[in-house]
Amino acid sequence: MKIRRRDFLKGVAASTLLLAAEQNPAQAKRARKDLPPNAVGILYDSTLCVGCKVCEHACKQANNKVAEHTSPNEPMWDDPQDLSDKTLNIIKRYGVEGQKDSVEGFAFIKRHCMHCIDPACVSACPASALVKNPENGVVTYNKKACIGCRYCQVACPYNIPKFEWDSPFPEIVKCQLCSHLLAKGGISACCAACPTGASLFGPVEKLRLEAKRRLGMEPGKYYDFPVADIESTEVQQHRAGGYVKHVYGERELGGSQVLYLAGVPFANLGLPDLPEDSYVALADGIQYAIYKGMVYPIVVLGGLIYIIRNREEKKE
């Protein structure tokens, strides 16, 4: 009995749909990734930030970035409006009037790479130009491997990577947590420069515990807050603010090594509302479901071989 090509293709399509339907949402995603063993990161506390932008200046000095003059009539040495190929870290103010850290008032937010535990930019890069360090978890960029496709820009849910459009030899630019300073035993420049401890460097596990400690503080009372590096002995006393009871970055998209605390809803500060499961885990789960055991590719390849051979036999 001969199998017609149309019948064969119908059978392949039907079997594909049947097998795909067997994969429920729980099966179509892989497990969350764990923190690297020596993961380091930053805890940013919006309630401690005074908007001085010293961290921006320190970042540019540490990474050899030039000043941006977006307002020519303003006598400012540097006035970036957003992250760019010249600005890897920026302090933004949301709200204009009223009391600081109140919903009706204003608050500050610090934006730079989140150093995701399961980074979409690394997964999207076809040339492995972006790599997550297996030890400390920092996401770094290798310009020699980059092919300029900018897939990382599309993949990043936080809109972090930037492209040097005005350079004859453009690169992707993003915060790399001052990895060149970490290699020498230092910490990220922004945290070292922060005068209030709003940006705090350290092992992620310790930063998570510190964030939970602050969420348990009684608003209005004074507490010791570590400055610069959580493993240092330097502290400052600050009045505890009324925190939103959530550590942003702890669970979002599988978690990140940059964590946020704030006194206002994070949506008010421009941070996206994201699911706990990473997009990379979901994509990997779908691919696994499709290519599980190489069943689909073998079926399709076998079908193509059958069709071609059948055509050749007819010609003969």
Which position has the token pair 């704030």? 262
pTM: 0.82
In the chain, the DSSP E strands lie at: 40-45, 90-94, 107-111, 130-132, 139-141, 162-163, 172-173, 199-203, 222-226, 235-239, 258-261
* H helical segments located in the chain: 5-21, 54-63, 120-124, 151-155, 179-182, 189-193, 204-215, 279-291, 295-315
In this predicted structure, what is the pLDDT of residue 316? 58
Q: Locate 90 and state its tokens.
A: 């920026």
In this predicted structure, what is the pLDDT of residue 99? 81
Distance in angstroms (rounded) separating the CA atoms of residues 150 and 244: 35
Question: Using an 8 Å Cβ cutoff, are 265 and 273 in contact?
Answer: no
Q: Who contacts 155 (Cβ-Cβ below 8 Å, separation ≥6)?
A: 120, 121, 123, 124, 279
Per residue of the chain (316 residues), give pLDDT as tens: 555 655 555 555 555 545 545 555 555 567 789 999 999 999 999 999 999 999 999 999 999 999 887 776 766 677 788 999 999 999 999 987 778 887 778 999 999 999 999 999 999 999 999 999 999 999 999 999 999 999 999 999 999 999 999 999 999 999 999 999 999 999 999 999 999 999 999 999 999 999 999 999 999 999 999 999 999 999 999 999 899 999 999 999 999 999 999 999 999 999 999 999 988 877 665 555 555 555 566 666 666 666 676 666 666 5
- Can you state the angle between helices 279-291 and 295-315, rounded to 10 degrees? 40
Question: Torsions phi, psi of 21, nearest 5?
Answer: -65, -25
In this predicted structure, what is the pLDDT of residue 226? 98
Question: Using an 8 Å Cβ cutoff, are 65 and 87 in contact?
Answer: yes
Q: Who contacts 181 (Cβ-Cβ below 8 Å, separation ≥6)?
A: 62, 187, 188, 189
Query: Burial code of 16-30, b = ≥16 C-beta within 10 A, e = fewer?
Result: eeeeeeebeeeebbb
